[in-house]
Structure formats: structure tokens, C-alpha cells
Amino acid sequence: MSVQQTNTEAGEIRQLDAVVIGAGFAGLRALYKLRDEMGMDVQVYETGDGVGGTWFWNRYPGARCDSESYYYCFSFDEDLAQEWEWSGKYPEQPEIERYLNHAADRFDMRRDIQLSTRVTSAHFDDAANRWEIRTEHGERVSAHYLITAVGCLSAANVPDIPGRDSFQGESYHTSAWPREGVDFTGKRVGLIGTGSTGIQATPVIAAEADHLTVFQRTPNFTVPARHAAFLAEDQARIKKNYPAIFARTRESPAGFPYFPIERETMSVSAEERQEVLEGLWEEGGFKFMWGGFSDLLINPIANEIASEFIRNKIRGIVKDPETAELLCPTDHPYGSKRPPIDTDYYVTFNRDNVKLVDIRNAPIEAITGTGLRTKNAEYDLDILVFATGFDAMTGSLLKIDIQGAGGRRLADVWAEGPRTYLGLQVSGFPNLFTITGPGSPSVLVNMPVAIEHHVDWIADCIEHMRAQGKTRVEATEDAQEAWVEHVAEVSKESLMGKANSWYVGANIPGKPRVVMPYAGGQPLYRERCEAVVKADYEGFEFRA
């Protein structure tokens, strides 16, 4: 739908059943569910000029998925699963973007998605039990339900380094990468950030650029992805097994089609431990976290064994001992930050044209016209890449002026950290549903699996309201309070709170430190959501 076809402030306000914000995995799934499966009148607004969400924006060099393709996808339509051919284990960004575009076309979604349109505000009208939504183009629509599908990692964090805007060369944040790409040939490139993004981008930029300087504040543990193309027999096996694969993704703690092994680190000999870890390193991927020992994320001693194993790998790969030690994380346990997986990250530091610079001990003081200055050196650069992450989980929601019942602003209600019931609703914000909102497992689960669960739950809730003749649903303050406490309690059992990560908001200056995702695992969370429904939507208040 073009902008011209929608209503403007001068015209009548268009009445919709639901507005969905975002056209990534979550928005697309929500649109199909509500419109095609439930017959609702739905409008999706998307800031980008294409669909795909994360996979539209993050087109930086080396961007590829960390979860395997055949389960990092929609499971709701068997025909879609059967017709789509994934090229290999860890597809690159263009392939996932193509997949999401294919889904948008296949289900005729585009007619209800307005691209290039940022939602600027959403205010709840208490009397009408409806949301009034405004866009950057001045459009105004009214919707019974507001569904946010804004992504957990979509508000870019571009650090406010002195002189940032004075740089005369090209500079990019990895999540706002130009469609036409960036030519690094013959260029001196500086890259700030060594999270999953920086770790993916480093080897690819290094291979193209004249010189790459990686500015590292905190070293990160990464294990090899071991990407491999699928053979015809892999495709056939996957397609035959899709129902079982998808069923397992819904039952396992992290939404993968395999279950964590029931074996504690200390239950086996040192030799056997080494063998298991070697096997996992060779196999590659996230299995390193789940497939070896069950206590990696809860037992500090077990964690240290795995952490030291990775450090020794770094020391073995990186030839310059000083660089190797700089790359060894020592300030946080493995897995307490979201672990990256990589293709040739550590070995890239053996290249003559790559330099690792420690900005922990000699911080960046300023960005200059010609490059960057740290406490003890100047670096001349042609291109500066910010792989500096996101204002995660709350950033994109709080960019929108969301006001609930009685004009309460979400930004005020969340001033001390996000508060939700089940990560699905916020007390005081009736008829607003937050797909993979803070307080739900979200980022700790394979995202499409978490998203599909939320969309189904929301749809069932709306169906329930229709059946009961209700027009307003809202989480109670008490239920929310208890859930927030439960999320905090559960997080204490994991090592997650131990690192300064985006999980806890530590990457954004001034952001309250709260473990935002629910760390109890997907099965427990799903059980909880089902129990709530069975208990007649306990903790939710419905009104006619």
C-alpha cells in the first residue's frame, strides 16, 4: 500500500482491527496469522523500504545466521518449508532476506505492509478501548489491538564518542549498511566492537581492505561455525523430517532441535572432558554450549573449564602471543554474553594487514577528521565501522511514544527497567501485545520459534476475547510484579548477570541494569503461558 492510499490527518481515521509494527519474522507471521487465519483487518508499518527486519538492515560483510537454516525459519506452513531450499547450514544475510521476501509474496502480504514508514506514537484511548497510531508521514489510524514486532536487536547503538561527526571518511553502523555495499579495496579500515557482528565482519573486511584495525574493548569467546553447503541428500533428509524437527524446536530449552545433554562436567575424567570439548569444537556452532555438559551456564568451575579450553584454542591459533592473550576473555564466563560463532575469526589476526588494538587499557579519546585517537596512539583511517550493537530489547519500543491508559508513558513506566507480564503485555497498556518482549525467553531462544509461540498465544487470547465478547485485555499490576520478580529470581541461577552485556543493558550508558530475557528456558516458559490460559487467563483482566 502506498502512503497516498492511507488516511492523513485531514481525512477520516481508518479503523483497523490491528496494527503491527515491523515486518521482520515477527511482523510477517503476525500479519498472516491475524489476517489470513483469523480474518482481521490488519495494517503493518515498517521503517525499512523492504521486508525482513533484522535481515533487511544487517547487510554488513560476513552477516550470516548463527542458527542453522532449517530451523531458523517459519514452521507454521508445511508447504513453505517443503518448497524452500536452504543452501547450507548458516545462510548469509541475502539468502534469509530472500526467504522472507518469498514468504511475503507467497502469502500475499505486501498489500497490507506499508514500507518506509516509522510509527512515531501510539496512544490508548480509554473510552474506545482502541489505540491511535501515528506515523512519521502524519497518518493517523485507529486499531483495536497494537502488536509490536519491532525486534529485540534493532535500535542501533552508535556510541557518543567525542568528535564522532567530524570524521571525514566513510562511517557505517553495521545495522545500517548501504544496499550497494562498501568497497574496502585499498582502504584503511577501523572497526569498533567485537560482539557477534564484529566477529563476523572482521575476516571479510580483512580480506578486502588494505589494512584493518580492530578496536577491542572486551574480548569475546567464539567457537567456529563450520559452515557447510547442503548436499541434495541433506535437503531430502531435512524435508522428510521437518515435522519432527519443528516439534523438537518447540520442546527444547533454546528452540533448537536438540536437547542439552544430561552430563555434568565433573562427572567425567579430565581426558574425557577434553575429548568432548574437542569434539564440539570440531563440530562447531552453538552445540558447544548445549551439547557437551549440562552445567556450563550454572556452575562457575564447569564454565571455567570450557572457557579455558577456548582460551587455549586462541593461543594455539593466533601466532603472536601478545595478540593471543589480548583476545582471551578473562572478565566474564563463557556464555554469560551471547556467544558468537565465527568463520576464521581468530586466524584473521595472523594476517599482516590486521592489527588488534586494546581500548580497555587505552580507551578511545576521540574520533578525529582523519581517524581515531586512543589514550596512547593516533590511527589514520579511511573507513570507520561501528559494530557496536544495539539498545537491546527495549530500545525500539521506547523510540515510539507509547502512552497507555490514562496517558501513562511506557518510557516512564520502564524508567527503572522493563516490566511486563510474561513478556507479552504491560500493565496499564491494554490491548498492546509485545512479540518477544522483555521478560520472555526471546533472545535466549531460536528467534523464529519464540516468535511463532508468541504470535499463537496472542492470537488465542484475541480469539478468547471474541468468544467472550470482551474488548479490552490488560495484565494486572500484581501478576506483572510477580512475573518481574520471577524473571529476576531465575536469572540469579544463571551466570548471565555476571557479564556487562546487552542482556542486562550494560552496553548503553545510563540504562538500568536488569536481566531482560527470561532465563528459565522455553519449556518452562511455555508451560507457564499454557497454565495461565488454563486458569482462565490468570493475571489478565478482560472487560467488555
**Residues in the site for ligand NAP, rule: CB under 6 A?**
64-66, 153, 159, 192-198, 200, 217-218, 338, 359, 387-390, 443, 502, 507
Q: Least separation, in Å, of the C-beta of 252 and ligand NAP?
A: 18
Q: Name the region of 103 (left: φ>0; alpha: ψ -120 to 50; beta: rest).
A: alpha
Burial of residue 509 (CB within 10 Å: 0-12, 13-18, 19+) is exposed
| Single-letter residue type at 348 | T
What is the rounded distance in angstroms from the CA atom of residue 346 to the CA atom of residue 314? Answer: 7
What is the rounded distance in angstroms from the CA atom of residue 296 to the CA atom of residue 308? Answer: 12
Q: Least separation, in Å, of the C-beta of 142 and ligand NAP?
A: 34
CA separation (Å) from 384 to 162, 190, 391? Answer: 14, 5, 20
CA separation (Å) from 108 to 40, 104, 148, 290, 485? Answer: 15, 6, 21, 38, 42
C-alpha cell at 451: 516468535
**Residue 425 and residue 124 in contact, taking contact as beta carbons nearer than 8 Å:** no
What is the rounded distance in angstroms from the CA atom of residue 394 to the CA atom of residue 311? Answer: 33
Q: Least separation, in Å, of the C-beta of 13 and ligand NAP?
A: 37
**420 vs 507 by CB, closer to ligand NAP:** 507
**196 vs 436 by CB, closer to ligand NAP:** 196
**Residue 302 and residue 289 in contact, taking contact as beta carbons nearer than 8 Å:** no
Burial of residue 110 (CB within 10 Å: 0-12, 13-18, 19+) is middle
Q: Which residue has the cell 557496536?
A: 388
Q: Least separation, in Å, of the C-beta of 394 and ligand NAP?
A: 14
Q: Least separation, in Å, of the C-beta of 403 and ligand NAP?
A: 29
Q: Least separation, in Å, of the C-beta of 177 and ligand NAP?
A: 12
CA 43, 419, 500: angle at the middle one, nearest 5? 105
**6 vs 522 by CB, closer to ligand NAP:** 522
Q: Least separation, in Å, of the C-beta of 99 and ligand NAP?
A: 14
What is the rounded distance in angstroms from the CA atom of residue 313 to the CA atom of residue 223? Answer: 9
Q: Least separation, in Å, of the C-beta of 519 and ligand NAP?
A: 15
What is the rounded distance in angstroms from the CA atom of residue 523 to the CA atom of residue 339? Answer: 21
Q: Least separation, in Å, of the C-beta of 420 and ligand NAP?
A: 20
**404 vs 438 by CB, closer to ligand NAP:** 438
What is the rounded distance in angstroms from the CA atom of residue 43 to the CA atom of residue 422? Answer: 25
**66 vs 460 by CB, closer to ligand NAP:** 66
**142 vs 374 by CB, closer to ligand NAP:** 374
**198 vs 521 by CB, closer to ligand NAP:** 198
Q: Least separation, in Å, of the C-beta of 386 and ligand NAP?
A: 8
**173 vs 211 by CB, closer to ligand NAP:** 173
Q: Least separation, in Å, of the C-beta of 330 and ligand NAP?
A: 13
Query: Which residues have CB under 8 Å from 488's CB, separation 6+?
Result: 514, 515
**309 vs 502 by CB, closer to ligand NAP:** 502
Enumerate the H helices of 261-364 as residue ranges. Answer: 270-283, 287-290, 300-317, 321-327, 345-348
* Residues pairing with 543 in the sheet: 472
**194 vs 396 by CB, closer to ligand NAP:** 194
**Residue 372 and residue 364 in contact, taking contact as beta carbons nearer than 8 Å:** yes
**115 vs 155 by CB, closer to ligand NAP:** 155
Residue, CB closest to ligand NAP: 195
